[in-house]
Homo-oligomer: A and B are copies of this chain.
Amino acid sequence: MTRRQKNAAATRDALLAAARRRFLEESYENVGLREIAGDAGVDVALVSRYFGSKEALFREVMRKAPSEALNPDISPDRLPGWLAEMATREDGSDGVNIERLLIILRSASSPKAARIVQDSFREDVLDPVAALIRGDEPEMRASLALSLLIGTTILRTIMRVDAICECDSTAVRARLERLLAVALSDGAAEER
């Protein structure tokens, strides 16, 4: 008697989805393959079979994250509001965009995941934002804006700071949006 139908693709997807869910809530080494397999309803050994190793599974999770961190078709002037809304969105809502960043932050200090996480951050988060910015030193300004996004995300999700967590108050969002606009603004151009 086997609990599960024999469907390799479905099992692989289930493992991938379960892994993504776990890596979203714990760091790389705090997620066990037995937990992931348990969530997917299969045995641990299938992880090795389908992905080769835990590190490869994590890489696959990073590669196939359902939504990119940045929607490329957005006008630069709407970027602050878009980032601010992303940063202050409730966890339960459809705020899927922040999830990749959250996975990155969770496993940022994990030696075996560090390389993967650094590459994913640069390619999927930093570069898209920097590409949208016009003016001097776009990468620096994008980094400062993303620092805000990263910081607020950590304060909300990990540090549980009440002053930031209460997201229904639009004050935080408005203030954050204004800050992001300043961070992204072209300082050299303003010195006219």
Listed in ascending order, the chain A residues whose CB lies under 8 Å from chain B are 26-27, 29-30, 105-111, 114, 117-118, 121-122, 126, 137, 139-144, 146-152, 154-155, 158-164, 171-172, 175-176, 178-179, 182-183, 187
A122-B159, A150-B150, A179-B182 are known contacts; what are 17 more A-B pairs with Cβ within 8 Å?
A: A105-B109, A108-B158, A109-B109, A109-B158, A118-B160, A137-B171, A140-B172, A140-B175, A141-B175, A143-B152, A144-B179, A146-B155, A147-B151, A147-B152, A147-B164, A148-B151, A149-B151
Contact A155 B163 (CB under 8 A): no
Interface of A is mostly: helix
Q: List 22 A-B contacts (CB under 8 A).
A: A26-B111, A27-B109, A29-B29, A105-B109, A108-B154, A108-B158, A109-B158, A126-B161, A140-B163, A140-B172, A140-B175, A143-B152, A143-B155, A143-B163, A144-B151, A144-B176, A146-B155, A147-B155, A148-B148, A150-B150, A150-B155, A179-B182
